[in-house]
Structure formats: structure tokens, C-alpha cells
Amino acid sequence: MDGATLTTAKTVNVILLGPPGAGKGTQARMLEEKFGLVQLSTGDLLRAAVAAGTEAGKEAKAVMESGGLVSDEIVLAILKDRLAEDDVKAGVILDGFPRTTAQAEALDEMLAASDQGIDAAISLAVDDEAMVERISGRFTCGSCGEGYHDTFKKPAIAGTCDKCGGTDMKRRADDNAETVRERLKAYHAQTAPLITYYDKKRSLTEINAMAAIDEVASSLETIVKRVLG
Ligand code: AP5
């Protein structure tokens, strides 16, 4: 990675599929910087709704704490609002969406309405067992959202964000071993079938996301460059 941002000449929509801890957020932020696409994380949108105390946020809170999936109705309403904003017109990297077949079908419809589609659905393949360690060691800069890990991605100066210098590091309420197991169950029952859904549409690529962060980033970069043409 040379750190330069490449500008996109056409609209490109990429989906990152994978269980909790697969690295969707980490990689989406790297692709955002590299290609000028916008990371769109339904988990982040839902956490913002919970923090703002909206009706949707109140409903979502307990479900998220249990490790289950928030209703399609709430998630789709939040996503639709976000997709209507100007900054996503050049394309998005969808992180954590879609998570059910109903969401995938609704997304196809929403994109088709503006003559768009999914350019690549990338499945981040990992071992479930390793995900509990990845997630329990995760923390995030409260100021800019940069993600870190106690072992795999430490900031250069302990407790200080490499990116913005912030010192308010946060850990997520649902990042405990018990909830992670429930989130993994929800992934296998409701989200993993989307691998077949996108494979049938010939838009799926699977990559080994057990590799080091930079190696995974390099595999993703190759795919996005190919899509950009
Ligand atoms: P969400 O926020 O989407 O969480 P998630 O899918 O469980 O994914 P995570 O954010 O935990 O993991 P990640 O893959 O982004 O990994 P990360 O890059 O941080 O959803 C939370 C909840 O919201 C859901 O449980 C559900 O209730 C609800 N929700 C959200 N979207 C929904 C939807 N569409 N429908 C219904 N409900 C929805 O990496 C993890 C850690 O590992 C980091 O510390 C990182 O530094 C490290 N790491 C990353 N890659 C590597 C690597 N290659 N090697 C070593 N370490 C690595």
C-alpha cells in the first residue's frame, strides 16, 4: 500500500461478507482510504441510533446485546436513509450488510432503482475459533473510529491513536466471549447462505482472511482494482 488515494471513475459497490471478527471493518476502512469509496457499516449506523436514543435504536439495543440480528425492517430503513446521502454516490463498501436473504434482495432492488448493482461480494473466510480472540482484544479510538487489537494491531504509543492522536479508546459492549458465540451462531444460520446467493450471481470471491492484515488488504485491493477496470 503506498498510501495514495485512487479516484473512482465509476460507481462501484462492494460487499464484505464474513463472521464477527473476520476483519470487515478493518479492511473497509483501508479500502475507503485507498479508493475513496465510502464504508457503510450497519453495525455503526445501529450503534449511532442506540447512542442517539431513537425509536429504532431503543428496539435494536437489546437485540445487539444478545448477539442476535436486528429486524430487517429497522436495518433496511436505516440503510435506505444512508444510501440517499450525497457522499455515497460514487459507491460503497458494505460492511455487515446484507446479513439475511431478505436484506440482499432488498439491496438488489434499491440499487437497481438507480441503475446500479453489486460489483463484487467478497467473502472473508476465517476459523470461528480464532474470532473470539480477535474480538475480545479489539478496541477503537473514540475520536476517529480507528480500530486496534491488543496483539495484532497495537498503536505505536500505547493508549494513543496513530491516526488522530486521540486517547479515548473504547471497547464494544457486545465484545464478550458469550455474545460473540451468539453472533457466530447468527452468522452461520442467517448470513452464511448469502455466500451461495452471490456465488449464483457470479459476483462472489472468497479470500483467506486468516492471513495478516496487510496480506488480506492486498488481496482485496487486487479485487477492487479489477472491478474499477
Ligand atoms: P457489526 O458491528 O457489523 O459487528 P460484526 O459483524 O459482529 O463484526 P465486527 O465488527 O465484530 O467484526 P469485523 O469483521 O468488522 O472485524 P474487525 O475489522 O473489527 O454488528 C454488530 C451487531 O449489530 C450485530 O450483532 C447485530 O445485532 C447488529 N447488526 C449489524 N448489522 C446488521 C444487519 N445488517 N442486520 C441485522 N443486524 C445487524 O476486526 C476484529 C479485530 O481483529 C480488530 O481488533 C482487528 O484489529 C483484528 N483483525 C482484523 N483483521 C485481522 C487479521 N487479518 N489478523 C489479525 N487480527 C485482525
Residuewise pLDDT in 10s, the chain (229 residues): 444 555 555 789 999 999 999 999 999 999 999 998 999 999 999 999 999 999 999 999 999 999 999 999 999 999 999 999 999 988 899 999 999 999 999 999 999 998 999 999 999 999 998 999 999 999 999 999 999 999 999 999 999 999 999 999 999 989 988 999 999 999 999 999 999 999 999 899 999 999 999 999 999 999 999 998 8
Q: What is the 3-state secondary structure (H, E, C) of the chain?
A: CCCCCCCCCCCEEEEEECCCCCCHHHHHHHHHHHHCCEEEEHHHHHHHHHHHCCHHHHHHHHHHHHCCCCCHHHHHHHHHHHHCCHHHCCEEEEECCCCCHHHHHHHHHHHHCCCCCCCEEEEEECCHHHHHHHHHCEEEECCCCCEEECCCECCCECCECCCCCCCCEECCCCCCHHHHHHHHHHHHHHHCHHHHHHHHCCCEEEEECCCCHHHHHHHHHHHHHHHHC
pLDDT of residue 5: 59
Q: How far is the CA of 201 from the centre of ligand 1 (A)?
A: 25
CA of 206 to the centre of ligand 1 (A): 17
For ligand 1, mutation pick of 46, 78, 151, 163 (most atoms within 8 Å of CB): 46
Structure pTM? 0.93
Ligand 1 contact via 118 beta carbon (within 6 Å)? no
